A and B are shown apart, each in its own frame.
Chain A
């Protein structure tokens, strides 16, 4: 039985055309947390009350309005997001209480609810349509394109956008060698961190002699501040599955596993549904696309261990063991899951595969010499527009932070270029970039040259109120906490590094501390068993490289310029501001403040535990940190 994708797409579009409006509500985790599901339900209720007919995507029939729920649209800062098609009217920060007005004004009367529109920061103009929003227009959304425009729960929606055409071609028309070559030619590199050429990885697996072969999709995205893969699995799960089918044909795998971290329940639900749907359509299981070939995909939920993002640890976890990495060699392509040849690709990589495989794809022309195509980033921290973005490799921080991100915000809420202190790129394995790198084209080699990595794409923007030692400590604590505990240098080394950073932050450091920390950082880098261990010291090495004076200020002057290190803070009462109300004295949990209404008050530094309670209590801003 052959499967006609064009017919499915045509009938889907035909049915869609029967609806007057399609309301797309963002169902990404961020928007759901802000109440987008209540908005979704409210719409159904209000529309029905107005006497219009409404249908939800999963049971399609002729109606005035069809409601759809997309995956993450990336503009998380402004969620919940509601887009009304066919025009593409884009409402942001929509609450259930706004729905009545939207339905009445926009659906019934054809008017715009202006207060829910995005305002252009430069022109102060209201922007009506989703395709005009600078946050989107300044990006290059290719891999993320369908995220936000299709209903992730509806396989036909994906097919209507050209989905599964490449998988079908790979299954029915291409040889394994052709598939691998095509991916190799596209220049696609692994998006999970290391940037290894995907086509080469597949070729190793294709040539490996193994009774059985596996393809694994690594959806154990665990970097704090990164949610690219989650968004893809939630918003366009079929693209991931399609990529896996193509990969399976390229390497000769008969079984695929998607390993999703358990902290992403929505992604788990969506990708499970997607696999069921694909199986129902005959894209998975026996005789896929009528080819007589067998390939099926199983979804496994992780159980809360960052280290399982490391491929050998991930395989241990699928085998029902503690997720502890194993030495390489043997490489997974030769001896992987249950001892068989295994290929592990990251979610974004697999979602990019159908794009690069398409005839006439221009994807490979984007980007730079050593990094073709686009990269998604999770933009967070002290930036106006936080969210999920996609830009071509070679884009600069200036483009990302200023043009798309809307600039760096200070703690007092002002936005100006001089606020920019650094970005942390690549999560706990990454490093930092500073104002001197603002025009550096971001690609694998370029970023590596300055001591950081692209990684999976976490970008944390920091202003001058950020203490870099604290940032290093934050990541160190993370990796220390997530170390599997197998090899000595990572288990003991990260613990000791954290201890040394605590010494610095808490004022116990001496002239030996920084050299000891630095020596240990390089030892962990050289000696650790797995990739995660080897890169765990990167945040320390990188901050030492660019902010050594800040470390030294902590160590020798017992001073934190950002004012973040409590133990180095010296609380004093400014007598000019003090109204002698005695509130601070009464608030202090340790009796460190003494004095009288007549003479005023003072803080005894020996007794002060630097908790900041007095400062928080003072109504006159009289307590200062020196």
Chain B
């Protein structure tokens, strides 16, 4: 047996099943610049930045590291004069067809093109700038596209097609006319885009960004006639700190609450409250379907991307979607209802701002059914990245802040609500509720894990619940096809559009190796879970509110405020 090693820049490396040279090269702590390589996507090989010199069987040649499988005996050189020159010219060529108004680009210091150009020491672009005038597509509430910044790496195209199986973006035209676009030149807002924002997570430049709502939020804060509330989603608390020197997964509720007050929000709430609220309603709905012979499986409806996906591609499954609103929308309608009836505020004077890990929530808040006489339940949705920007705009030294508490009654939350932020969390919370309701021990960890599709039979005495947890819509499509073909039978299914759940949402801070970050944020949520009450019905404020305000769980008032309906959108895609 031959030596199973290769040599990278004079260092011998053992091969351990790496898929390509890039992975091997990273093992010796060399970070080659890449724009179109994403480990979870198919190999594209177009940016040409990872080209290395490969010597094999006495022959030398230049090969892209991303698409070349390692073969024992290869000798790799990553940094010859020829390669340095080639990389520099390649970046120069990109810059010559790039909108170089970098100082006013919202991507700021996170722009990989800018970093790489800087690292390579490009001080002047010797070619004529041929960039076409910017075409800005802000038709979607979730994501904005600026064509003049796009470097055509295709990451967005592949993530939308391969991970989400939506394929709303594709290349069009060819050669130097190539653009990335929605079909027939339409805007994202008129397309099948589900708003998940996975595209902007893989965009190396500022061509794709969240549809920022910072300015109207500042305006609402400044408006003294308004009572402005803020509520943070579970996944936000483990990510915002990353911009201020904290590790992914560090739970920073207290500092975030203080910062929100300093920014000028009148009330600071926790969306976890509404996650618990969701569990009470959705869990009750599920038990009702099981005992009352309702349509099964029941699909969760917390994720707006998933909901739109069903409405567009699987309208026949609309009856399977839980009729519960998502936590964001439950909180919005509850807050307005309670503040109006209890504090005598005028509905139009309450401005609800939710802070979400998600760009899709921006679209969700704009759905017409989530408004009363044109006044939305949630007025503005900003993402974790936008909150970070507001904190920076205000000059707040986040790391040094003293923690503070959320405002009651919408400030209490249980561990079951906190884990909503990770894939499988909604399911586990629902199972805890079911177990408690049926009188069994609420220890329901069977569905934890990292796979995109996980399933387990969960038994409570003689009741067996066939449960599945899915994240990533390509996985969801797979599951739906299996269900349709009769290959899979479930009673309850949790689906989150983003792989790994909300912790990996399109509104979260961006990182080079984000898969690792996602795992650490997830871990943070589950660690936080064990410090809190275990099951949603242990949320005292919530229980009190049901008793005083809503009446029965699943009753008339809660149906009016907390449930919704869906629309068949299969004709409009």
Contacts and interface: CB of A to CB of B under 8 A. Distances in A.
B86 A526 contact: yes
Contact of A496 (B93, B152, B177): B93
B513 interface: no
A580 interface: no
A332 to B, nearest CB: 14
Contacts of B86: 489, 523, 526-527
B174 interface: yes
B94 A516 contact: no
Given A499-B127, A499-B128, A489 B175 contact: no
Interface in B67-82: 67-69, 82
A491 B151 CA distance: 11
Contacts, number: 106
B90 A491 contact: no
B89 interface: yes
B186 interface: no
Given A305-B174, A485-B173, A327 B45 contact: yes
Contacts of B176: 480, 483, 485, 491-492, 494-495
Interface in A303-331: 305, 307, 322, 324, 326-327, 329
Contacts of A520: 89, 127
Given A327-B67, A483-B176, A489 B128 contact: no
B85 interface: yes
B127 A529 contact: no
Contacts of B93: 488-489, 492-493, 496
Contacts of B128: 496, 499
A481 to B, nearest CB: 6
A488 B45 contact: no
Contacts of B69: 329
Given A495-B130, A496-B128, A488 B90 contact: yes
Interface in B302-342: none
Nearest to B89: A523
Contact of A485 (B48, B64, B126, B177): B177
Given A326-B45, A499-B128, A529-B46, A485 B89 contact: no
A482 B178 CA distance: 11
Interface string A467-488: 0000000000000111111111
Contacts of B126: 512, 516
A519 interface: yes
B174 A322 contact: yes
Given A487-B45, A488-B46, A492-B176, A322 B127 contact: no
A83 B341 CA distance: 101
B92 to A, nearest CB: 9
Q: Which of B69, B93, B152 has the most CB of A within 10 A?
A: B93
Contacts of B188: none
B174 A483 contact: yes
Contacts of A495: 97, 130, 175-176
Given A329-B68, A496-B127, A526-B62, A485 B171 contact: yes
Nearest to A534: B62
Interface in B35-50: 43-48
B371 interface: no
Contacts of B447: none
A487 B94 contact: no
B51 interface: yes
Contacts of B130: 495-496, 499
Contacts of A307: 174
Given A496-B93, A496-B96, A486 B67 contact: no
Contacts of B154: 486
A491 B178 contact: yes
Which one of B86, B130, B175, B177 has the greatest number of beta carbons of chain A within 10 Å? B175
Contact of A480 (B90, B127, B175): B175
B67 A485 contact: no
A288 B233 CA distance: 67
A242 B127 CA distance: 51
A491 B62 CA distance: 19
A488 B174 contact: no
Given A329-B67, A519-B89, A529-B45, A492 B97 contact: yes
B130 to A, nearest CB: 7
A327 B37 CA distance: 13
A529 B67 CA distance: 11
A216 B126 CA distance: 43
Contacts of B151: 488
A492 B171 contact: no
Given A327-B64, A329-B67, A523-B89, A487 B96 contact: no
B46 A487 contact: yes
A528 B66 CA distance: 14
Contacts of B173: 485
B201 to A, nearest CB: 21
Contacts of A486: 44, 46, 154, 178
B175 A482 contact: yes
A324 B46 CA distance: 10
B85 A523 contact: yes
Nearest to B178: A485
Contacts of A484: 174-175, 178
Interface in B461-503: none
Contacts of B96: 492, 496
Contacts of A527: 48, 51, 62, 86, 89-90
Contacts of A519: 85, 89
Contacts of B90: 488-489, 523, 527
Most buried by B among A307, A322, A526: A526
A528 B86 CA distance: 10
Contacts of A529: 45-46, 48, 64
B512 to A, nearest CB: 20
A543 to B, nearest CB: 21
A491 B127 contact: no
A489 B46 CA distance: 9
Interface string B405-439: 00000000000000000000000000000000000
Interface in B134-169: 151-152, 154
A187 to B, nearest CB: 22
Contacts of A329: 67-69
A526 B64 CA distance: 11
A489 B91 CA distance: 9
Nearest to B47: A488
Nearest to A483: B175
B48 A487 contact: yes
Interface in A538-578: none
Given A329-B69, A526-B86, A527-B86, A485 B97 contact: no
Contacts of B177: 485
Given A487-B48, A488-B47, A520-B89, A481 B175 contact: yes
A327 B21 CA distance: 14
Contacts of A526: 51, 62, 82, 86
Contacts of A492: 93-94, 96-97, 176
A551 B406 CA distance: 74
B460 to A, nearest CB: 45
Nearest to A520: B89
Most chain A CB within 10 A, of B44, B51, B174, is at B174
Contacts of B89: 489, 493, 519-520, 523, 527
Interface string B51-67: 10000000000101011
Interface centre among B43, B97, B127 (most CB of A within 10 A): B127
A529 B46 CA distance: 7
Contacts of B127: 496, 499, 516, 520
Top 3 closest pairs, chain A to chain B, by CB: A485-B178, A327-B67, A327-B45
12 contacts: A305-B174, A327-B43, A484-B175, A485-B174, A485-B175, A485-B176, A494-B175, A495-B97, A495-B130, A499-B127, A516-B126, A520-B89
Given A305-B174, A492-B93, 5 more contacts: A307-B174, A485-B173, A489-B90, A494-B175, A526-B82
